[in-house]
Amino acid sequence: MSATSRRAVDVLVIGAGPSGSISAAIMQQHGLKVEIVEKTLFPRFVIGESLLPRCMEALDEAGMLEAVKAAGFQQKNGAKFVSGDKLCDFNFDQQFTKGWSWTWQVKRADFDKILADVCVSKGIPLHYETEVINVEMAEDGSSITTVREKDGTCSEIEAKFIVDGSGYGRVLPTLFNLNKPSTQYTRTALFSHIKDPNRAEATEPDRIIIIVHNPTTWIWVIPFSDGTTSVGYVGSQEFFDGFSGTTTEKLFAMLQAEPSLAKRFRNPELVWPEPKQLKGWSSGTTSFFGKGFVLTGNVTEFLDPVFSSGVTLAAVSAQLAAHLVVRQLRGEQVNWQEEYSDELQTGVDVFRTFVDTWYDGTLFKIIFSEGQHDDMLNQICSVLAGYVWDKSNPFVKNSDKTVRTLARFLDHRQKENDEAIKAEA
Ligand SMILES: Cc1cc2nc3c(=O)[nH]c(=O)nc-3n(C[C@H](O)[C@H](O)[C@H](O)COP(=O)(O)OP(=O)(O)OC[C@H]3O[C@@H](n4cnc5c(N)ncnc54)[C@H](O)[C@@H]3O)c2cc1C
C-alpha cells in the first residue's frame, strides 16, 4: 500500500512501553522534536509488574514520578524469597548502594498508560494503533519509516534518529536481521491476576514473594493495591505437562500443590477469564545500536523474569540512550559501543550471573543459608534493587566470581559444621 502523507521529526520512537515513553520524554525535555508510534491501543496488557528501585531515577528524570505516585500503586519495599521453611527477606532500605529504597508493584496496563499520558501532556505526538512496517535507512543514518494505521492507511515519517522500544515486537532487530538466539533455557510461565480476600492471613501480606516450588520451578506472588494479586508459575514445559485439564484447572491444582499458597488461595477467583501462558521470552541481539538508531528495553536483551529486572533495564537503557541521542543530534561525537552497549551490558551481565546461578542452584545456597553476613546480604540487596552499575559492590564488579566463591565457602562451612556435629555425636 502506498503512503498517503509524510512528516518529519528529529527522533521517531517505536513503542510506548516504559522504554519508549521514558526516552521520548527525556529527549523532548532537551528540545528535540519527538514522535511515538504504538501498535496497540492503551491501556493494554503486558507482563512485568514488579519494579525495582533503580527505575525511580529514570521516572524522576522523565518527569513521570508524580503522575505514577498519584495512581496509588502498591508500594514495594523489598522482596521475600521462600523455599520450604527457609526464608530470605530483603529490605531495600538496607541495601549497600545509596539510592531509592522503594518502588511499586503495578498493573502494567495502568502504569504504561500513565507514562504514555505524561508524554502526551508534554506535547509529544503519540499515535496509537499505528504499526511500524518498514524502515529505510540512508547512508547518513537518517531514515524513512512506513507506519500503518488501524484502518490500513499508511504514512511515512522522516527521522534523523530512531529509538526502538518495541519490546517483544523487536521491530529493528527483525527488519535489520539483528536477532540472536538466547543462551537461556526455554521456560514457560502460567499466570493470572487473582482476587485475594485471604491476603490478611499472610504475614506482611502486601510484600512480593518469590517461592522456590521445586529446584527448577518458582512462583511470583505480586499483590496489588486493589486487593487482587498476580500469581505466576515459571518452569520447564514438563512441569506444566504434569498437570491436566484447562489452564484454569492447572493453575488451581498448582496453587493447591504449593504449601505456602494453598490456604491463601483456597477458593481462587480469577480476575481474567483464564490464565495467560507465555513461553520462550528470552532473546538476544547482535548489536544494541547502528547508524541512526538505538535499541532500548527488551529489544536489547531479555534474560528471565526471576529478579524483576525487565522494566528497570528498559527504563535505564531509555535514560542512557536519550542522553546520547541528544548529544549526537547536537553534533557531538558519541561512542555508542562504549557509552551505550558496554555500559548497558555491564548491568545485564550482573543479572545474567544472578539468573544463571539461581537456576543452577548456586544462589539458593547463598540466600537460604544461615548465619550470613549482613554486609553481603546488603550487597546482594543492591543488585535486587537494580543498582547493577555500582562497581564498588563486589556482586557487581566481579559478580560471577563473587557469587560462586561465596557459595563454595558456604558449602565448605556447612560440611565442617556437619562433621563437627557428627564428631560430637
Ligand atoms: C513471564 C514474565 C514475567 C515478567 N515479570 C517482570 C517483572 O515482574 N518485572 C519487570 O520489570 N519485568 C518483568 N518482565 C519483563 C517485562 O515484560 C519487560 O522487560 C518490559 O515490559 C520491557 O519494557 P519495554 O518498554 O522494553 O517493552 P514493552 O513494555 O513490551 O513495550 C513495547 C511496546 O512496543 C509496541 N510495539 C511492538 N511492535 C510495534 C510496532 N511494529 N510498531 C509500533 N509499536 C510496536 C508494543 O505494542 C508495546 O506496547 C517479565 C517478563 C516475562 C516474560
Domain boundaries in the chain?
Answer: 5-76+99-181+282-348, 188-279, 365-424
**Does residue 25's CB lie within 6 angstroms of at least one atom of ligand 1?**
no
Pick from 297, 234, 272: nearest CA to 109: 272
For residues 90-109, average pLDDT: 97
Pairing of strands 78-83, 86-91: antiparallel
**Does residue 53's CB lie within 6 angstroms of at least one atom of ligand 1?**
no
Other C-beta atoms closer than 10 Å to the C-beta of 165 total 32
For residues 16-21, average pLDDT: 98
Is pLDDT of 211 > 90?
yes
Is pLDDT of 203 > 90?
no
Which pLDDT belongs to residue 344? Answer: 97
In terms of phi and psi (left: phi > 0; alpha: psi -120 to 50; beta: otherwise), the region of 388 is alpha
Residue 11: helix, strand or coil by DSSP?
strand
**Does residue 18's CB lie within 6 angstroms of at least one atom of ligand 1?**
yes
Using the mean position of ligand 1's atoms as its centre, give its distance from the Cα of residue 374 in Å: 34
Residue in 37, 64, 166 to alter for ligand 1 test, most ligand atoms within 8 A of Cβ = 166
Say if 5-76+99-181+282-348 and 188-279 have the same CATH topology: no
pTM recorded for the entire structure: 0.96
Using the mean position of ligand 1's atoms as its centre, give its distance from the Cα of residue 316 in Å: 14
- Taking the CA of residue 47 as reference, the ligand 1 atom at the shortest distance is 17
Using the mean position of ligand 1's atoms as its centre, give its distance from the Cα of residue 311 in Å: 8
**Which cell goes with 41?**
491501543
Using the mean position of ligand 1's atoms as its centre, give its distance from the Cα of residue 102 in Å: 22
**Does residue 302's CB lie within 6 angstroms of at least one atom of ligand 1?**
yes
CATH class of segment(s) 188-279:
alpha beta
- Taking the CA of residue 55 as reference, the ligand 1 atom at the shortest distance is 11
**Does residue 119's CB lie within 6 angstroms of at least one atom of ligand 1?**
no
> Tens digit of pLDDT for each residue in 296-311?
999 998 888 999 999 9
- As a whole number of angstroms, the distance between CA 282 and CA 340 comes to 21
- As a whole number of angstroms, the distance between CA 15 and CA 223 comes to 27
Which pLDDT belongs to residue 188? Answer: 96
**Which cell goes with 187?**
521456560
For residues 60-69, average pLDDT: 98
**Does residue 37's CB lie within 6 angstroms of at least one atom of ligand 1?**
yes
Pick from 388, 332, 355, 364: nearest CA to 281: 355
Q: How confident is the model at residue 262 (pLDDT cuts 50, 70, 90)?
A: very high
Using the mean position of ligand 1's atoms as its centre, give its distance from the Cα of residue 259 in Å: 31
**Does residue 298's CB lie within 6 angstroms of at least one atom of ligand 1?**
yes
Q: How confident is the model at residue 182 (pLDDT cuts 50, 70, 90)?
A: confident
Q: How confident is the model at residue 369 (pLDDT cuts 50, 70, 90)?
A: confident
For residues 262-291, average pLDDT: 94
CATH code: domain 5-76+99-181+282-348 is 3.50.50.60
Is pLDDT of 286 > 90?
yes
Where is average pLDDT lowest: 105-114, 310-319, 363-372? 363-372
**Does residue 278's CB lie within 6 angstroms of at least one atom of ligand 1?**
yes
139 phi and psi angles, rounded to 5 deg: -55, -40
Pairing of strands 74-76, 103-105: antiparallel
Q: How confident is the model at residue 1 (pLDDT cuts 50, 70, 90)?
A: low
Is pLDDT of 138 > 70?
yes
